[in-house]
Chain A
Amino acid sequence: MVAILICVTLGAVIGLLYQSPWLQRLVSLIQKYIVYLLIFFMGVGIGLDEQLISNVGRIGIGAAVFAVLCGVLSAFCTLAFDRAIRRGRGKRS
């Protein structure tokens, strides 16, 4: 977590102090392509984890129920809160 905090702070400082078209192009390229590398290696980690793969059959359905419900309900609750906050702001202004 410390490394992540350092990276994001360092990045924000670089972005605040230095702005150039080539840097923006580089950031855009990194975000466009390297993100796939991250997802690929996340998959490699899953494929390599013998315990995880062997547990998929036994507790996979339960885990999938948890994951789907958590993801979907979080998204919808957030949407509801977001709309309520926007409506509240609209009334005040």
Chain B
Amino acid sequence: MILPVILCLLAGVLFGALLRTGGLIFDTDAVTMPVLWVLVLAAGIDMGNMIRKNGWRSLLESAREAVSALLGTFTGTLLAGGLAGLLLRMTMNRALAVSGGFGWYTLSSVMLSQMDSPELGALAFLSNVFREVLAFLLIPLLAKKGWKASCISVAGATSMDTTLPVVSRCCGSETAAASFVHGLLFTFLVPVLVPVLYSLPV
């Protein structure tokens, strides 16, 4: 799946750049959102079928994956933020706040632009966009290795929307249920965590 993902993404970037240079205006959200809704609906049907087939216990079984992914995403992302801060010689609180977006680029970039500077907002935006792109590339590889919980954590907060269909396709409907819960929890956590991490006295 990885090669078609790279090709589709590159073709999209190229097409977008061509549209931009041609001065054409195209509202991608108007197309992306309905496509995303259809995909999430399909993932939901898959989850419903899985529960009907295997019973509600199957949801409990996916709880282990959800818990591992939650703990792993939280620890791994903050460790990564600290390490990136050291490598890029940034203050620790700013670096942690950038990574604390957990892939939710629209929100974290706006918050950090207001709290700090447009420069830090742009860094948060770009790094979280890259994280989402990386998730599309890594999920098929991690799924092949059988690391299903890791597929969820790579995606961060996007595991409940944009990357959910990829998780569902590569790992199955049990992991998709865990992925949705994981993404939902981080969606609630990010608006709280970004200001908390930014205000840390480090």
Contact = CB atoms under 8 A, between A and B. Distances in A.
Interface of A: 1, 3-5, 7-17, 19, 23-24, 26-27, 30-32, 34-53, 55-56, 59-60, 62-82, 85-86, 89
Contacts of B196: none
B134 interface: yes
B52 A15 contact: yes
The bracket for how many chain B residues form the interface is 35 or more
B150 A66 contact: no
Interface in B13-51: 13-20, 26, 28-29, 31-33, 35-51
A63 B127 contact: yes
A48 B18 CA distance: 8
The A contact surface, by secondary structure, is helix
Nearest to A78: B72
Interface of B: 4-5, 8-20, 26, 28-29, 31-33, 35-53, 64-65, 67-69, 71-73, 75-77, 79-81, 83-84, 87-88, 95, 98-99, 119, 122-123, 125-136, 138, 142, 147, 149-150, 152-154, 156, 160-162, 164-166, 168-169, 180, 184, 187
Contacts of B161: 1, 4
The 9 A-B residue pairs with the shortest CB-CB distance, nearest first, are A11-B44, A15-B48, A43-B12, A47-B16, A78-B72, A67-B130, A74-B76, A77-B76, A66-B127
Contacts of B14: 43, 47
A23 B125 CA distance: 38
Contact of A55 (B36, B51, B73, B122): B122
A53 B45 CA distance: 37
A38 B165 contact: yes
Nearest to B80: A69
A35 B67 CA distance: 26
B41 A7 contact: yes
